[in-house]
Amino acid sequence: MLQQIEGSRAVALGVALCRPEVICAYPITPQTHIVEALGEMVKKGELENCEYINVESEFAALSVSIGASAAGARSYTATASQGLLYMAEAVYNAAGLGLPIVMTIGNRAIGAPINIWNDHSDSMALRDAGWIQLYAETNQEALDLHIQAFRLAEALSCPVMVCVDGFILTHAYERIEVPDAKAVDEFLPPFEPVQVLDCDDPVSIGAMVGPEAFMEVKYLQHHKQIRALELIPAIADEFSKKFGRQSGGLVKPYRIEDAETIVVALGSVNGTIKDVVDEMRREGHLIGSLAIASFRPFPLKEARSALEKAKRVVVIEKSLSVGLGGPLSDGVRKSLSGIAMKGHTVIAGLGGRAITGKSLKDLFLKAERNELELLNFLDLDWKIVNQQIDRERETRRSGPIAENILKSIGTVASRIA
């Protein structure tokens, strides 16, 4: 059924179709609307057989999910930003214990300075926690990925994060095809755990493992992700056959056949990139793009075959590996091991900074002219940066950076002082 709805609502509907048995809710912008919507569905009785728990923190949210999952319930929670970091210990734990929890990340920047807007710093911070990370490009895909995520998580006994760009997707109203419940039930069978807290077959879950077996346990986590490289496209294919549209998968190439320049990115920015690609194609540029839909596991092989014939790769990163560059570039570079090719990392859109088509086009043209650096910061205001650098050089007690910058750009509130 087609509906014109907010992205968060779409995600909530998708999750509800998966018949989660335990949902843990803790508010944090921008994912809050998702759990609000789910709470309403449970309260109304639209979502049956589901315990909806208002917890006291994100750490508790995931911890409750861990308990529920270990006791055999299909468990779901959602978070963002600081919330994801606050639950970080449990994030690793859920993966280490192999509990197939699905969690939505309404991607958002991490403070300080505190900032509620979109980038990928949060999910990137936990990219190595052992979870599968799927990045949605559109709200339709956000909905669809949750259905696939439960299927994947439970097939592998591995938790899955579905990363949905905060505001850009979560708060955007789009036309969404909401799948039929019966079809989802057919696609996603009831959860059958590989291990469960069961009085009739008691086990101890969460043993302390020493050097004699820890590496093996960790390898087995890795092995699950290797298996996921096959399962993710298989599930996406099956989904496509069942529901009549492509969603998810490992990578999504766009007009790369003869491209000399290929732009690689995660999530919703791919929409803008594709618009720019189309525009530049019309102007005769040999440019294409590659959306990475599964960041963990990272599809090295698929990325390589998509990129290997290009002359240059431009990676748009919504996350800064401070002191190095961007995490997505790391994967891309690894996928191209042994191939001589120009590669550029572009840090863009941090803290919700708009990534405009114009900026991107300028960027890609610059790349074509081979004028791009290895590491670039899209639309960075060098004037402000340099002012602060100077200030710090001149004054020992130079004051708080964020507040200084706000003063420099002359925001309304900063004039009060």
Question: Which positions touch another protein (CB under 8 A)?
Answer: 21-22, 24, 49-51, 53-57, 59-60, 63-73, 75, 89-90, 93, 96-98, 157, 194-199, 201-210, 212-214, 216-217, 220
Q: What is the β-pairing status of strands 173-177 and 2-6? A: antiparallel
Nearer to another protein, 75 or 289 (CB): 75
Please state the closest distance from residue 229 (CB atom) to another protein, in A: 20
How far is 294 from 274, CA to CA, in rounded Å? 18
How far is 100 from 83, CA to CA, in rounded Å? 20
DSSP 141: H
Please return the burial class of 374, using the count of CB atoms within 10 Å of its CB with bins 0-12, 13-18 and 19+. exposed
- Which has the closest alpha carbon to 142: 303, 268, 37? 268
Nearer to another protein, 1 or 199 (CB): 199
Please state the closest distance from residue 92 (CB atom) to another protein, in A: 9
Determine the Cα angle at 9 with ends 38 and 179, to 5°. Answer: 95
Q: What is the CA radius of gyration of the chain?
A: 22
Task: Answer for the pair 25, 53: CB distance below 8 angstroms, yes or no.
Answer: yes
Task: Answer for the pair 289, 313: CB distance below 8 angstroms, yes or no.
Answer: no
Nearer to another protein, 210 or 323 (CB): 210
Nearer to another protein, 23 or 363 (CB): 23
Nearer to another protein, 4 or 204 (CB): 204
Residue 239 neighbours by CB under 8 Å, 6+ apart: 144, 147, 148, 187, 247, 248
Contacts of residues 278-283 at CB distance under 8 Å and 24 or more positions apart, as own/partner, are: 279/357, 279/361, 280/361, 280/364, 280/365, 281/255
Please state the closest distance from residue 128 (CB atom) to another protein, in A: 17
How far is 152 from 242, CA to CA, in rounded Å? 16
- Which has the closest alpha carbon to 10: 178, 164, 249? 178
Please state the closest distance from residue 191 (CB atom) to another protein, in A: 10
Nearer to another protein, 59 or 187 (CB): 59
Nearer to another protein, 210 or 244 (CB): 210
- The values of phi and psi at residue 50, to 5°, are -140, 130
Please state the closest distance from residue 33 (CB atom) to another protein, in A: 22
Please state the closest distance from residue 287 (CB atom) to another protein, in A: 46
Nearer to another protein, 191 or 295 (CB): 191
Nearer to another protein, 8 or 93 (CB): 93
How far is 300 from 293, CA to CA, in rounded Å? 12
Please state the closest distance from residue 236 (CB atom) to another protein, in A: 26
How far is 266 from 109, CA to CA, in rounded Å? 15
Please state the closest distance from residue 210 (CB atom) to another protein, in A: 7
Nearer to another protein, 19 or 285 (CB): 19
| Sign (positive or negative) of CA dihedral 241, 243, 248, 253 | positive
Please state the closest distance from residue 381 (CB atom) to another protein, in A: 40
Please state the closest distance from residue 194 (CB atom) to another protein, in A: 6
